C-alpha cells in the first residue's frame, strides 16, 4: 500500500523540522490500514517497530511518500516493512524505514488467529 502526507506548519517543532513522533504516527497509521485491508476480518494492535532512526530532517511543504509492504505473516501477527521518501526526490534514499508488527486481537484483547 502507498499513501502520501503533506508536511504542514502544525507538524513542525520549534526549529521548523517535522516532529519525529508525527512521522511515527503517520507510519503506524498507514501500515495499520495496509494490515486491515489485507486481513479485513481482524482487529489489529501495534506491538512493535524494529528500529527508529530518522536519516534526515524534513521541512514544511514536503510531500512524503509512505510505502508499506507485508513482509511476514504468522498465526496471530503480521509484519510490514515501511519506507518513507521525499516525493519530489525519487533518487534519494528513504528518510525513514522500519518493520512494524501487528497482532490480531479479539474484543477482550486476547490474541486471535488471522486466518
- Domain membership of residue 113 (yes or no) is no
Query: Is 53 within the bounds of a domain?
Result: yes
Q: Does 111 map to a domain?
A: no
- On whether residue 109 sits in a domain, the answer given is no
- 513522533: which residue's cell? 21
* Residue 93, domain CATH: 3.10.129.10
SS (H, E, C) 33-98: HHHHHHCCCCCEEEEEECCCCCCCCCECCCEEEEEEEEEEECCCEEEEEEEEEECCCCCCCCCEEE
Structural domain includes residue 59? yes
pLDDT of residue 102: 98
Q: What is the pLDDT of residue 52?
A: 94
Give the position of cell 517535522: 18
Asked, for residue 43, whether it belongs to a domain, the answer is yes
Tell me the CA distances in angstroms from 63 to 18, 54, 89, 113, one per residue in order: 12, 16, 10, 36
Domain-located, residue 54: yes
Per residue in 8-65, pLDDT (tens digit) is 999 999 999 999 999 999 999 999 999 999 999 999 999 999 999 999 999 999 999 9
Residue 110 covered by a domain: no
Say if residue 90's pLDDT is above 80. Answer: no
- Show the domain range for 8: 2-104
Name the residue with cell 512521522: 23
Global pTM? 0.94
Domain total in the chain: 1
The pLDDT value recorded for residue 96 is 97
Amino acid at each position: 500500500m502507498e499513501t502520501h502526507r503533506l508536511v504542514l506548519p502544525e507538524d513542525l517543532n520549534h526549529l521548523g523540522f517535522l516532529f519525529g513522533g508525527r512521522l511515527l504516527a503517520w507510519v503506524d497509521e498507514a501500515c495499520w490500514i495496509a494490515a486491515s485491508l489485507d486481513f479485513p476480518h481482524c482487529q489489529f494492535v501495534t506491538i512493535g517497530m524494529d528500529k527508529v532512526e530518522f536519516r534526515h530532517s524534513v521541512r514544511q511543504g514536503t510531500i512524503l511518500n509512505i510505502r508499506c509492504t507485508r513482509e511476514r505473516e504468522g498465526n496471530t501477527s503480521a509484519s510490514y516493512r515501511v519506507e518513507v521518501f521525499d516525493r519530489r526526490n525519487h533518487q534519494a534514499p528513504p528518510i525513514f524505514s522500519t518493520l512494524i508488527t501487528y497482532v490480531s486481537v479479539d474484543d477482550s484483547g486476547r490474541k486471535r488467529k488471522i486466518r
